[in-house]
Structure 1
Amino acid sequence: MLRSIFRERLFDGHVIMISGGGSGIGRAIARELAVLGATVVICGRTLEKLEAVKAEIEAEGGKVHSIVCNIRDEEQVKQLFAQILEKCGRIDALVNNAGGQFLSPAEAITAKGWNAVIETNLTGAFFMCKAAQQVWMKEHGGAIVTIVADIWRGFPNMAHSGAARAGVVNLTQTLALEWAQYAIRINAVAPGLIDSSGLSKYPPEVQAMLAQLPRDIPAQRMGTEREVAAAVVFLLSPAAAFISGETLKVDGAGSLYRLQGYVIPEHTAWESYGEDS
């Protein structure tokens, strides 16, 4: 049985939307919030994954709805929030967890690949925030948390995702200012290297490389999905009532240490730089 470190029934009567709730970190967040009494609404593009998580939560006594939605499509996002209001009558909080990327050096990223990652991680998050604000939170207040990434020293081999996540960090800061007048708090959580089901999507050679990365983390291990979920729950809770516009790192101090898994190739390309002409 799932137990939480937070006070029991902390979110009784609250309705919380979690995108990308069909697997990984989104699933962990949804389960944690449901155990704490929230009615959770999970969305994603694959019905089978959503229904599996829904069955898990219901088996633990939680309240949950699952809705298929592509967050890159603004009309689908509007319909999603209309359905939530119809089913639940309110939307107290939003967790923007849905995202995705692929490994590639920047020069090999096509326009199609670039746009897909930007639309999923940045544009989709904006559509979700905007819809939540317009249909409920502008009149009633609320809390929003968006999952980003460890982008503080660049994001080699994921330039598309790094650019999108950096955009979300700035969007978080901007909306925290614009929407303060509506009592909407908006923050972000930046996971470092997390032992998540999402890692299984990478090819075997990448997974082998990832397995070596904990040596580059001061904590000397990967984080867990539930540790990320706990950070999200904290930012949604009354304990964070005076926190907005912030990005909370969940990375075992990894962002303060070596750049994980990336080595600059040996070269002499800069030798002529700085010479007198």
Structure 2
Amino acid sequence: MPYQSTLAAYSFKNQTIVVTGGGSGIGRCTAHEIAALGGHVILIGRRESKLINTANEIKQDGGKASFYSLDIRDEAAVTATIETLLKQHSRVHGLVNAAGGQYRASLADISKSGFEKVVQTNLIGGFLMSKTLFNAHFSHHGGAIVNITADNKNGMPGMGHSGAARAGVENLTQTAAWEWGPFGVRINAVAPGWVASSGLDTYPKAMQQAIRSLPHAVPLGRIASEAEISSVICFLLSKGANFITGQTLFVDGGASMGSAPALYPLSHKGNPNSETYNGFHRSITPDVLR
């Protein structure tokens, strides 16, 4: 069964779109959807093995994909890579900044080095990719950028370093939308809530029960599939979003509306009227949710 996108077939025909963090999680799913819609996906990430795996999956499904392995926090590496890919692709139409990562820790326990590394990955890396592509290409041809942030409206207790970086991404998105709009560049952000992605399995076992209880903190009574995030990313890349820029769209089942878990615990055991959409034919359920 092929990828089941909600967008029209061939929405990205003859388009080339760069996806950072394309080797796993939301980035991998988004890369698959773009390719299924006719686009050529350029995967970027640090672990070459993951990029190779995703590229091979896409090719097996009849799509087009290539990849570059680099650390997006390294400005020289970003510059060199973009120079190389622009020699091979005369036109790049979009960029998805999906690379990111964090670890669970209270603010009092986060070292300066640990805080800086998370900010560099979640904020500075996306800035370098966006700025470099803008200067080298988008400023002449236009383009669409989608940044992936997180549901940080009420802070991110236990992940303060990531929350600070993600808030920076949201503000950076607004600034870039204003400054780059006259060049035909649209830039938006997607803020996912909890997602049934491989990232859930990276958290310690002590968090597993809390992860299984997450649906009780979401008005819709469940967590999202990767495809439910990818579908929004792809819409923002598409022509249908040609007049949308500078916005952050929260895709979290309503969890960001307030401090619901603390002030008004939800008692429902799942919501039969809220069904998961998962068009990603290669989706893998995280072990912690099995």
SS of aligned partner of 2:13: coil
C-alpha change, 1:259 and 1:155, in structure 2 (3 Å) is farther
- Cα drift, residue 257 of structure 1: 4.3
Report if the CA contact (8 A) 2:154-2:258 is conserved: no
Larger radius of gyration: 1
**Cα offsets for 1:84-119 (capped at 9, x unmatched):** 212222211000000011110001100110010010
Query: Cα offset for 1:207?
Result: 2.1
1:214 equivalent to 2:215? Answer yes
> AA paired with 2:29?
A
> 1:159 aligned to 2:160?
yes
Counterpart of 1:118 in 2: which secondary structure? helix
What residue is the counterpart of 1:9 in the other structure?
10
Check whether the contact 2:21–2:43 (CA below 8 A) recurs between aligned residues: yes
CA distance in 2 between counterparts of 1:79 and 1:211 reads 43
Distance 2:16 2:163 in 1: 31
Q: Distance in 2 between matches of 1:117 and 1:259?
A: 27
Q: Deviations over 1:144-203 (max 9, x none)?
A: 000000010111111110000000100000000000110100000000011111111111
Question: Does the Cα contact within 8 Å between 1:209 and 1:261 map onto a contact in 2?
Answer: no
Cα deviation, residue 3, structure 1: 2.2
Q: Per-residue deviation at 1:206?
A: 1.0
Shift of 1:261: 8.2
Residues 106 and 157, structure 2, Cα contact 8 Å, conserved in 1: yes
> What is the DSSP-based 3-state SS (H/G/I as helix, E as strand, rest coil) of the residue aligned with 1:95?
strand
**How many matched pairs?**
263
Aligned identity (percent) is: 44
CA distance, structure 2, for counterparts of residue 222 and residue 28 of structure 1: 16
Q: Is the 8 A contact 1:122 1:168 kept in 2?
A: yes
Q: Write the letter of the residue equivalent to 2:82.
A: F
- Map of 1:107-126 to 2, 5 A cutoff? 107-126=108-127
Q: 2:105 matched to which residue of 1?
A: 104
Residue identity opposite 1:173 in structure 2? Q
Alpha-carbon displacement from aligned partner over 1:115-150 (angstroms, at most 9, x marks no partner): 100100111111011011011100000000000000
- Report the CA distance between 1:80 and its aligned residue: 1.7
Give me the whole-angstrom Cα distance separating, in 2, the residues matched to 1:170 and 1:5. Answer: 29
1:1-277 equivalences under 5 Å are 1-259=2-260
CA distance in 2, matches of 1:214, 1:185: 33
Q: Which residue of 1 aligns with 2:271?
A: none
AA aligned to 2:19 is: I
Write out per-residue CA displacement over residues 207-244 of structure 1, whole angstroms, 9 at most, x where no aligned residue: 22111011110110110101000000010011111100
The AA in structure 2 aligned to 1:183 is G
Q: Contact (CA 8 Å) 1:218, 1:257: kept in 2 or not? A: no
Larger deviation, residues 202-211 vs 121-130? 202-211
Q: Which moved more, 1:240-249 or 1:3-12?
A: 3-12
TM-score, structure 2 normalization: 0.88
Decide whether aligned partners of structure 1 residues 259 and 125 sit closer, same or farther in structure 2, where only a CA change above 3 A counts. Answer: farther
Change (3 A) 1:117 1:165: same
TM-score, normalising length from structure 1? 0.92
C-alpha distance in structure 1 between counterparts of 2:152 and 2:124, whole Å:
18
CA deviation string 1:51-95 (max 9, x = no partner)? 000010000110100110101101111122112212222211000
What SS does the aligned partner of 1:145 have?
Answer: strand
CA distance in 1, matches of 2:188, 2:58: 26
Distance in 2 between residues matched to 1:196 and 1:232, nearest whole Å: 16
Please give the alpha-carbon distance, in whole angstroms, between the structure 2 residues aligned to 1:165 and 1:81.
Answer: 24
- Conservation of the 8 A alpha-carbon contact between 1:213 and 1:261: no
In structure 2, give the amino acid aligned to 1:130. Answer: K
The residue matched to 1:119 in structure 2 has which SS? helix
CA distance in 1, matches of 2:40, 2:29: 15
